[in-house]
Amino acid sequence: MADNRIKGEKKKTLFTSVEHAFGMNSWLRDGLPVQYFSKILFLFFIALIYIWNSHYAEKSIRNINKLEKEVEDLRADYTTMKAEFMLSGKQSEVAKRVRPFGLVESIEPPQKIVITE
């Protein structure tokens, strides 16, 4: 590709356009303005804190979502185990489990013992 620019003419890029629009060439002609260094450093520090805080918040949100799912799973397990425990305590279920040991349900109703003094 042939370069049709005149010698000494700079290529027009986005950065040169921004420099020209804001007059940055005149700022940096005499050197870096040190008077703004503390303010720039402060803004840089604030930006770092802002970025760290957003990353920390995202991490916390992911951790909270993970723990909420785990709590839901544990709650479902608890409900299932509680239902199984309640079922296993029924008289008919107890009778089924003790039958192999030779124990059977009593057919006669219980009798009340009365002691008179």
Average pLDDT of the chain, as a whole number: 85
Identity of residue 79: T
- Has this prediction a pTM greater than 0.85? no
Q: 11, 5 in Cβ contact below 8 A?
A: yes
Query: What percentage of the chain carries pLDDT values higher than 70?
Result: 84
Position 93 scores a pLDDT of 87
Distance (Å, whole) CA 13 – CA 23: 15
User: 33-72, pLDDT tens digit by residue?
Assistant: 678 788 889 999 999 999 999 999 999 999 999 999 999 9
> What are 66's two structure tokens?
């993970």
| Model pLDDT for residues 100-114, shown as the tens digit of each residue | 998 888 888 888 999
For residues 10-20, give the mean pLDDT: 76
Please report which helix (H) or strand (E) contains residue 24, including its range. helix 24-28
The torsion region of residue 115 among left (phi > 0), alpha (psi -120 to 50) and beta comes to beta
Question: Can you give the residue ranges of every domain in the chain?
Answer: 14-99
State CA 27 to chain mean position distance: 46
What is the signed CA dihedral for 17, 18, 20, 26, rounded to 10 degrees?
Answer: -150
